[in-house]
Structure 1
Amino acid sequence: MSASASFSLMAAFTKAPPPIDYVLPGLVAGTVGSLVSPGGAGKSWFALEVGVQIVGGPDLLGLGELPTGQVVYLPAEDPPITIRHRLYALGAHLTAAQRSAVAAGLLIQPLIGRCPDILAQPGFDFIRRAAEGRRLMVLDTLRRFHIEEENASGPMAQVVGRLEAIAADTGCAIVFLHHASKGAAMTGAGDQQQASRGSSVLVDNIRWQSYLSSMTSAEAEEWGVDEGQRGFFVRYGVSKANYAPSFRECWFRRHEGGVLRPAALERQKRRPPARLKSVGKSVARGGNENW
């Protein structure tokens, strides 16, 4: 071991380190994370609203204060016209000053039909250049940035490794949006780490994973939401955070245009189970009603 390495260790033992720089609750700058949800749950909207906040816009999601910086959002499965509609809906929630800040700090580059392969050198170089000087990069969705089999651990380890290299070199946090597995979506297990589609490497090799989960019928009953309205509600939380305390999950409601805002829900009191009435001779004899 070299003298410089020994000295670095000794300094680490005695000198207090700087505070950890969190880009999102639990997500450290210069690392890779994911947002997992079924299709149509609102992950693209969530990513867009987070980007708006980080570049100086309002905290529309109620996540709390976040350090500001430049953001790049690379949507690779939505056509530009749909992104324009989302921005128009968002504009109603921004002041003139906030619109200027967002326009200056948020780069949105639609890539539908031009999806760069991160395992090929041109694709890797493109994504790395986009991350330079940025605090956050969002890839929407991961499937559009490689051509490998998602269930194959080797290729997926390479994909995550390439993203980690870019994040480490640039200091930019990278969040890839990813679909939940069909099984997780059907059973309402979208809040579990294992909800992520494909190889377990996509969970094990990253240090932060969040989720959006659509409201189930049971949850609608628990929170007093009419069955016809439950499609407007999604639950957000962090299922994996290696470098931070657990994040308290929360509910969002879709508003006009699709904008996600915090939902004010109140858990309903559970009704006690109906007691069975005893009949016949057991009543006359004072029989036991504790069935």
Structure 2
Amino acid sequence: MKPIDFDKITRSDDLINADYSDLDYVVEGLPLGLVGSLIAAGASGKSFFAMQQAFGIAIGRDGQKRGQVIYFAAEDPEEEFGKRIQSISKAWGLNEEDKVYARKNLWMISLLAKEPNLTAKKNETDDVYEFIEIIKPLCRKIASEGDDPLRLIYFDTLRRFHFLDENEGGAMSMVLSVMEQICHELHCSCIFLHHINKSSALNNNSDMQQAARGSSVLSDNIRFQQFLAPMSKDEAENFARPKTPKMAIGEDGRRFFVRFGVSKQNYGSPIPERWYERDENGVLMPADIIKIEGK
């Protein structure tokens, strides 16, 4: 346990009389300084969605508070997410100002084959974690080269950032504790990408709070959990595109659609679920689908 300075504990009357400003949300539902997640089945588009989310923060898209974002990709080579970033830029039709902020604020870093380990310590006698010490120079570089502060770090995917048993609660508490320390020391938030368990995948329950694979700690000990759920067979037969309101999306079309939502949220107003459709390059674009009359 880290030392606690009880002389700096805030008194209850100070808390009562404090003037609290609105929470600073990094993404809708996740306040600055906290850990969140994005869970989904494999090959459902979670990496693409997270990159789009990161890109949006970097350029301040749709009124978001702009800031710098680090995206650690431990499963994909640089060339792959480079293609994805190009596809997002094209699909969104970025102007020159957006492109300038994208260059300044979005840091895509491949850790493929680097074996990053969040829980490794410099030595057994202290609580200094190697990963935090390694990324501090990067954060200093980011601070010196950009005008906007660091706001968010992504870990894609969680399994690639530790060597512990995901079903063991104590082990996963340690992983989350290191992320919380990163948030505290670097004044940012963290989002980890994670897979759903087999039962949730088989039963189309990606939207359940306990759908995350491994220990329940991975959901219970965070304050924000997003999900992506592939369109089910039933949904594909009951929904249509507005241009063809009587024609079901069907089996061939459903693989292009995913439903985004938040299965755990401790702060802010409830976030409505949204449908997205993959374009020809894999970019997830907002989809306006409708229920077929009589179904």
* Alignment TM class, shorter chain as reference: 0.7 to 0.9
1:100–1:3 CA distance, 2 compared to 1 (3 A):
closer
Tell me the CA shift for residue 3 of structure 1: 8.3
Structure 1 CA distance for aligned equivalents of residues 154 and 77 of structure 2: 16
Tell me the CA shift for residue 226 of structure 1: 2.4
1:165 and 2:189 matched: no
Tell me the CA shift for residue 269 of structure 1: 2.4
13-22 vs 154-163, greater mean Cα deviation: 13-22
1:50 and 2:74 matched: no
1:119–1:101 CA distance, 2 compared to 1 (3 A):
same
> Would the aligned equivalents of 1:35 and 1:211 in 2 still touch at CA under 8 Å?
yes
> Would the aligned equivalents of 1:232 and 1:253 in 2 still touch at CA under 8 Å?
yes
TM-score if structure 1 supplies the norm length? 0.86
- Deviation string 1:221-268 (CA, Å, 9 cap, x unpaired) is 221212211100000001001122221010001012111110011122
User: Whose Rg is larger?
Assistant: 1
Structure 2 CA distance for aligned equivalents of residues 128 and 228 of structure 1: 47
Structure 2 CA distance for aligned equivalents of residues 137 and 185 of structure 1: 27
The one-letter amino acid paired with 2:195 is: H
96-105 vs 211-220, greater mean Cα deviation: 96-105
1:15–1:100 CA distance, 2 compared to 1 (3 A):
same
1:214 pairs with one of 219, 230, 240 = 230
- Deviation string 1:139-182 (CA, Å, 9 cap, x unpaired) is 00011110001111111110011111111222211000001111
Structure 2 CA distance for aligned equivalents of residues 140 and 90 of structure 1: 18
Match of 2:193 in 1: 177
Structure 1: gaps (5+ residues): 60-64, 272-291
1:73 and 2:81 matched: no
Match of 2:265 in 1: 241
Structure 2: gaps (5+ residues): 1-5, 122-129, 141-148, 241-248
1:126 and 2:134 matched: yes
The one-letter amino acid paired with 2:222 is: I
Tell me the CA shift for residue 26 of structure 1: 0.8
The one-letter amino acid paired with 1:120 is: A
TM-score if structure 2 supplies the norm length? 0.85
**% identity of equivalent residues:** 37
1:23 pairs with one of 26, 29, 36 = 26
1:142 and 2:164 matched: no
Match of 1:262 in 2: 286
Structure 2 CA distance for aligned equivalents of residues 4 and 110 of structure 1: 40
Structure 2 CA distance for aligned equivalents of residues 168 and 128 of structure 1: 13
Tell me the CA shift for residue 5 of structure 1: 4.5
1:4–1:137 CA distance, 2 compared to 1 (3 A):
closer
Root mean square deviation of aligned Cα? 1.9
Tell me the CA shift for residue 126 of structure 1: 2.5
1:34 pairs with one of 21, 37, 42 = 37
> Would the aligned equivalents of 2:76 and 2:110 in 1 still touch at CA under 8 Å?
yes
